[in-house]
Structure 1
Amino acid sequence: MRLYKRGKTYYVDFTYKGKRIRKAVGRDKKTAELALKDIEVRIAKEEYLGVYGQKRVAFKDFAKEYLDYSKSNKAPKTYRADPTGIRNMLKFFGDRLLSEITPQLIEEYKAKRLETVKPASINRELATLSNMFTKANQWQIVSVNPMKEVGKLKGPPGRIRYLSYDEIERLVNVSAPHLKPIIITALNTGMRKSEILNLRWENVDLERRVIIVRETKNNEIRILPINEPLYGVFKTLPSRNKNEWIFPGKNGKPIGSVKTAFKTALRKSGIKDLRFHDLRHTFASYLVMGGVNLRTVQQLLGHKDIKMTMRYSHLSKEHVKDAVEILTESFPKVGTNMAYG
């Protein structure tokens, strides 16, 4: 990099990313030297700090682009969370440039949101913000993701509510005819509500006794076995010749919601503090308490991270103790005749 004068004007001559650049920087030598130094610093920042070349794009403008991308590239269920989270962030970051959003500013946002919402909600918004910056980096709008320096908020342990045997019996007995097989399916497969309501006959193989579930997020497949209670339920349902859906609604399409019917069943059964998703927790909890290893439970639930499944690990403590007691049958006299001292 050099500074030279041609006529009355000073120029800088340097190579940037393989391209030779000559640029006029004024007639005053001192000003030209400062310009040269500024170029050196800016190039060094890009090479060593990754902060040069960021575009002047406001958060509110990029948010629109990101939502368009999100809607086109994400599963509908995954996309639905983005507009809500971004709407909250717009109130805080709105007119700021993406390049001006620092880890410190994000910490201020976290503190502000904590005044009105729970940590879990904020963490979901922060995940969206991190995804936005990752995409902005890929699109060469910014060169750093400030979220890499921001930690998640710690919240209370995840809620695990599972039904007792008595509650299961009461709930099934009082459920409406269209709801009962749905509840039995949830209790015997651990499937999510959306997976159950959108289940097709083509995904159920009664001969092999398996259900093929296609994950909505990544299009992966998990295969669930059909046990005897569930097999009996499926055999009583209208055949595939009448409808493509396992649980069709009145219009022939899948049932849109079981919210009202589920609330009615809870009221009739006298069961308190229960969500439909807790049927999935019930499935997992009884598997763990029955001695099924966590890796198998993870596979059945479709958890990508074993940490999600580890929430149920405390339920297996007594069963782990029972498992170790088996050793007394193998080593009945080991150590019993040892003298000490």
Structure 2
Amino acid sequence: MRIYQRRKVWYIDYIFQGKRFRKRIGYSKKVAELTLKDIEVKIARKEHLGIQETNKILFEKYSEEYLKYAKINKSEKSYTLNITNIKALNLFFKGKYLTDIKPQDIESYKEERSKNLKPASVNRDLACLRHMLNKAIQWGYLLSNPMKGIKLLKEPPGRLRFLSEEEIKRLLQELPAGSKLIILVAMYTGMRRSEILNLNWSNVDLKNRILVVEKTKTNERRIIPINDSLFSQLQELSAKKKSEVVFAECRTNLRRNFTDALKRANVRDFRFHDLRHTFASYLVMSGASIKVVQQLLGHKDLKMTMRYSHLSNEHLQEAVGKLNYLKPEKPKPQTIRETRGQYKVSHAMVLR
């Protein structure tokens, strides 16, 4: 920090929170000195430019406050995941004040957790921490987020297993009627298991042939068209409904029925969630755009949907590969006939 004079005018020059400031004071050196002292005091008290000193709070205490917020404002699933994330974060940051957490502390946490966990699991912790610290800024506990500039770990491509047409045929043959309908809904709509089992008849519009998915992973409502094959099945089920929940009766023993059917159909390495991949994969292979698939799946980030794009490329390649404008000319059929005791080759006709 310093004062200096230029063309008879006094200025102050100082750095605060990594930023350099220069202020024009006027023609009085005394005023410049007093102003500089005042700024020094404000910086010491973190009151510079109207910024008040933050409330100090320990990480574990703040975690409790954040979880109260999460319980009210997040889905039950997200809240449960946050509890798991915060347990791990507390083990590392317990005893630290929020204001004392530095980027290097977060890098150390990332490195330590990476020793025993997959990148995806570590990244879920970091995403939770980022949101916690952003909230801390809103609530007056922090001036800035120490996670700014921290990169997430690189994750390997997600699993992408979908059923072949032959596997679909074998699997459906082995399923009892109730479970079979749920599996068909998954393959025709791409809905998640929880979305299907929580579906109410009020969300099934048979007149307009649409399903309205309310309880989604991303907390965003989405609309899915009902195709002809599924429409007839749902229409039949609607005629004999006994509950507001669409699959109240069909859901009985679903897990066991599905597992047993997979074994009998000799379908290996397949999970219920892979039915969603099956829906998306066949959509892409039939020519649907990635943007349409994103909308139907309810993906917030297009990157998640882009993993299906290679299927479109493969089918385009296959289609283009069938083109052949330079086919080799087929040899003309030859005829062998006898001439004066000798055999002569002719291209004129084929003897039958």
TM-score of the aligned structures, taking structure 2 as reference length:
0.75
User: Which deviates more from structure 2 when the two are superposed, residues 214-223 or residues 172-181?
Assistant: 214-223
User: Once the 2 structures are TM-superposed, how far is the Cα of residue 58 of structure 1 from its aligned partner?
Assistant: 0.6
- Pair 64,188 (structure 1): closer, same or farther in 2 beyond 3 Å: same
| Map of 1:172 onto structure 2 | 172
Deviations 1:106-128 (A, max 9, x none): 11111111111100001111000
Deviations 1:276-330 (A, max 9, x none): 111000000011111111111111111122111111111111333477799x9xx
Matches within 5 A, 1:1-341: 38-42=40-44, 46-47=48-49, 53-216=53-216, 219-237=219-237, 239=239, 241-249=241-249, 255=251, 258-321=254-317
Note the residue ranges of structure 2 that are not aligned, 5 or more in a row: 1-35, 326-352
User: Once the 2 structures are TM-superposed, how far is the Cα of residue 258 of structure 1 from its aligned partner?
Assistant: 3.3
- C-alpha RMSD of the superposition: 3.0
User: Once the 2 structures are TM-superposed, how far is the Cα of residue 42 of structure 1 from its aligned partner?
Assistant: 2.8
Deviations 1:208-257 (A, max 9, x none): 2111112535654322111122112213325365211110049xxxx488
User: Once the 2 structures are TM-superposed, how far is the Cα of residue 179 of structure 1 from its aligned partner?
Assistant: 1.2
- Pair 209,238 (structure 1): closer, same or farther in 2 beyond 3 Å: closer
Alpha-carbon distance in structure 2 between the residues aligned to 1:111 and 1:97: 21
Q: State the secondary structure of the residue aligned to 1:145.
A: coil
- Contact 2:45/2:53 (CA < 8 Å) preserved in 1? no
Note the residue ranges of structure 1 that are not aligned, 5 or more in a row: 1-33, 333-341
How many residues align? The count is: 293
Q: State the secondary structure of the residue aligned to 1:237.
A: helix
Runs of 4+ in 1 over 6 A off after TM superposition: 34-37, 322-326
Specify the code of the residue in structure 1 equivalent to 2:168: I
Alpha-carbon distance in structure 2 between the residues aligned to 1:95 and 1:257: 47
Higher-Rg member (1/2): 2
Of structures 1 and 2, the one with the larger relative CO (CA 8 A, separation 6+) is: 1
- Contact 1:75/1:216 (CA < 8 Å) preserved in 2? no
TM-score of the aligned structures, taking structure 1 as reference length:
0.78
Alpha-carbon distance in structure 1 between the residues aligned to 2:311 and 2:260: 30
| Map of 2:14 onto structure 1 | none
